[in-house]
Amino acid sequence: MRLILIRHGQTPSNVAGQLDTAAPGAGLTTLGTAQAAAVPGALAEETIAAIYASPRLRTKLTAQPLADERGLPVIVRPGLEEVSAGVLEMRSDEEAVLTYIDTLADWLRGDLDRSIPGGHDGRRFLERFGGAIESIAAEHPDETVAVFSHGAAIRAWSFITGGLDPEDAVERRIRNTGAAFLEGDPAGGWRLVQWHPEPLGGPELSDALAHDVTGESTDEVEEDLEES
């Protein structure tokens, strides 16, 4: 199957650099709404069989324009949520942000036993997110499916599952409504065929000034912290 993992549109928490991972989560900013509205045009050539979203408000809002344009429902699938911030939830200070980002980087480098304080380790994350993807794949073999999820979750699952070089992986970012395109299936494995780090509607929909913790590369997060 062909799997398109799309990050949600911009939220106020993305602008503020907050680790917003719990339910229900923030809605979209004006820019986030524009990013979501641009997704249908950007995917016009894709024959999409189904549209899924995590239970968070921001993914459902981002998926809705594509669902309206295709005449499909947005199917909410538990398991597609962001990497949990645990006790760091809604913090934006240097200690919290670096703990979260460094843990994610360690997962990408193979240390799946490291846990975010009060959250999950890498193995539990992969089991949760991968289980959701496996259930979607079982329902749509040989079809293209759009899945709206979250920045850190998309990067971690796509890079680890797709076999990307760890040092390449930690330096990749995904802006709001950026996307990962994968092909394969749970039995045979997944191949990352395209990484689209900028908004699907075009780079003009990016916000370079936002302190976007879960979407930035490790270097970008550290640069933001130095400037703040």
Instruction: Read off the pLDDT of residues 42-96 as tens digits, 9 standing for 90 and up.
Output: 999 999 999 999 999 999 999 999 999 999 999 999 999 999 999 999 999 999 9
pTM over 0.75: yes
- At CA 77, angle to CA 66 and CA 64, rounded to 5? 20
Residue 143, exposed/middle/buried by CB under 10 A (0-12, 13-18, 19+)?
Answer: middle
Handedness of CA 174, 123, 167, 117 (dihedral sign): positive
Give pLDDT tens digits for 148-164.
Answer: 999 999 999 999 999 89
- Given the residues 8, 150, 196, 211, the one annotated as active site: 8
Q: Is the pLDDT of residue 106 over 80?
A: yes
**In the block, residue with structure tokens 């309206």:** 68
User: Does 8 qualify as catalytic in the annotation?
Assistant: yes
Catalytic residue among 81, 82, 150, 211: 82
Residue 228 pLDDT exceeds 70: no
**φ, ψ for residue 190, nearest 5 deg:** -115, 145
What are the angstrom distances between the C-alpha of 221 and each of 33, 35, 55, 206, 227?
A: 24, 22, 26, 16, 10
What architecture is domain 2-187+211-227? 3-Layer(aba) Sandwich (3.40)
Pairing of strands 48-53, 74-76: parallel
**Whole-angstrom Cα distance, residue 214 to residue 175?**
9
Residue 226 has, within 13 A of its CA and on its CB side, a CA count of 6
* Displacement of CA 196 from its chain's centroid (Å): 12
Q: CB of 201 within 8 A of CB of 7?
A: no
Model confidence at 225, pLDDT cuts 50, 70, 90, reads: confident
Domain positions in the chain? 2-187+211-227
Contact present, 153 and 59 (Cβ < 8 Å) = no
